[in-house]
A and B are shown apart, each in its own frame.
Chain A
């Protein structure tokens, strides 16, 4: 069983690897994830390494799990290594407002003089956190409903189908905007709103796959050995139906990034002063006649990241089903 499973994953990977574009997209996704994870060490006013009277210090390391509010004291001493982008995302410098890209601010500054590149780097953190959490919720909810619908069929399947139909009747953005606005915008409300509206795809994928495999020998064997339904569904069937669900998770992440940035753009997203890609674009709209750099770079960041997740999802799906 185990052997067969690893073999099939290896086959999928082998077919996936054949597509150059898929590999480029995958590498890009990894790079963006790396930037998001290490954002505080990439863009930070505080130096990475300092030599002080009391020894070697790492002033920016404390920001790794979220920067502290207020002005912090940077210890006295010699800077050994600066962050690659020596600006923090919320460093306001009104004298430097709306500056074109220069050597100091490579992607320019926004309307209160914050470094756009630093905000983009930290914005990746916000976007990916929201998107990954939303995709996980969609995957969990969707897998659960898809699994029971596919396993039991009959009236359970019927109820799940009606549930999906109900969700799909609402305009997606109406529902997301409505939930987020009603319950106050925050990372959590956005994640939940996205999760409860995008689980339908995962449910449909998982349902189909469970229906296909529920009569296969290994499922029959589990049933014959007296396993209870819960065990058959969640220990035997679901792990084998995960590949198509992961395809839909890729698309969920892409949709979530697009939607999160749209919410921020409309002013109902992750609250300020959190740096968000959509937030920078909303400032760009105010200075549309002048500040082209505010519109260009965040747009490219959203577009390339969303495209990368979509392409990975699409090629992953092709690798799963070489005929289609």
Chain B
């Protein structure tokens, strides 16, 4: 076990350096003077040379490439990505204050999707060969193919514009500060419904499909046939033998889910003017606030890496076959 753990962590460290190299290369492959990267403008004309020189010095652009990479690594380790071009506050602070908003929205979407998607997947796999099972895989694909911004647009049109049942966008109403505590909670929940629905449906299809294929695979294994041959009843085989093994691979989804959720957040948070990191990423890109863009890119990639190592380790603890197979 400890050997497996050590190897997995060693790989992760290498992947981490890969991430820093990819992001560093990305900055330095942008056409034009890299100093424009940090002053939030497309060109250097109109900026006095002395100031340009000062900025170059501040961001270490006057040093050799390898030294610049060293500074970049140091920045990542100390979580110091420099001040935002927009308000000169540290980019990291701006991210940290938006993170809870994104987390709240995504947690609800994740919980809804997992709670509905996993049982649907299990159920459709247990009815293998039935019309329902054949039809369900198509339905998952249709859900999967719906563009989230279109679904969000239709939800807004129906629930907020035509019927005014729910707010169109934002996180709170204009008179939020005048409300009572219970009123505030209700107001926040009302603002969450549409964006979290728009984030949920595609994930739901994803979990249902993943669970279904995991269970289908387990059902075809020998020990299930053995259980059947022993005379264990159909439902008991499914519940007692197959399900537990089928749910194991779901642990590995933990790491894969985070980048997926954040991708979805960019569109949905922007549309609903939700004050989270997805919205921040797009606004920073549009206003050429590259310190914030880079900080977000690196931080999310590292968090994803951490989550995927964690889920692999959990998987290895739960399923000894993994760590034995890994040794070969």
Chain A interfacial positions (CB closer than 8 Å to B): 21, 162-163, 165-166, 168-175, 177-179, 181-183, 254, 258, 261-262, 265-268, 278, 281, 284-285, 288-289, 292, 295, 298-299, 302-303, 306-307, 310-311, 314, 323-324
Contact = CB atoms under 8 A, between A and B. Distances in A.
A170 B157 contact: no
B147 A302 contact: yes
B260 interface: yes
A169 B22 CA distance: 11
B259 A170 contact: yes
B285 A166 contact: no
A128 to B, nearest CB: 15
B304 interface: yes
Contacts of B262: 171, 173-174
B153 A288 contact: yes
Contacts of B141: 307, 310-311, 314
A266 B270 contact: yes
B157 A295 contact: yes
Contacts of A171: 258-260, 262-263, 266, 300-301, 304
Contacts of B168: 288
20 contacts: A166-B22, A169-B259, A171-B259, A171-B260, A171-B300, A173-B263, A174-B259, A174-B281, A178-B293, A179-B26, A182-B30, A183-B31, A278-B147, A285-B271, A288-B157, A288-B161, A289-B161, A299-B153, A306-B145, A311-B138
Nearest to B301: A169
A170 B300 contact: yes
A145 B129 CA distance: 37
B53 interface: no
Interface in B254-301: 256, 258-260, 262-264, 266-267, 270-271, 281-282, 285-286, 293, 296-297, 300-301
Contacts of A265: 149, 267
Nearest to B288: A181
Contact of A173 (B22, B258, B266): B266
Interface of B: 11, 14-15, 18-19, 22, 26, 30-31, 137-138, 141-142, 144-150, 153-154, 156-157, 161, 168, 216, 220, 256, 258-260, 262-264, 266-267, 270-271, 281-282, 285-286, 293, 296-297, 300-302, 304-305, 308
Contacts of A324: 216
Given A182-B30, A288-B153, A177 B147 contact: no
Top 10 nearest A-B pairs (CB, nearest first) are A173-B263, A299-B150, A307-B145, A171-B259, A166-B18, A171-B262, A306-B145, A169-B301, A169-B304, A181-B285
A177 B266 contact: yes
A37 B171 CA distance: 44
Contact of A262 (B18, B142, B149): B149
A16 B30 CA distance: 45
Contact of B147 (A166, A175, A261, A288): A261
A202 B216 CA distance: 24
A258 B147 contact: yes
Given A171-B259, A171-B263, A183 B150 contact: no
Interface centre among B14, B26, B144, B150 (most CB of A within 10 A): B150
A268 to B, nearest CB: 7
A199 to B, nearest CB: 14
B27 to A, nearest CB: 8
B154 A169 contact: no
A177 B305 contact: no
Contacts of B14: 162
Nearest to A173: B263
Nearest to B148: A262
Contact of A162 (B11, B216, B296): B11
A193 to B, nearest CB: 11
Contact of A306 (B147, B157, B259, B301): B147
A321 B79 CA distance: 48
Given A163-B18, A261-B147, A284 B153 contact: yes
B150 A295 contact: yes
B300 A178 contact: no
B280 to A, nearest CB: 11
Given A172-B263, A177-B285, A295-B153, 9 more contacts: A162-B14, A168-B304, A169-B305, A174-B266, A174-B281, A261-B147, A265-B149, A285-B271, A288-B157
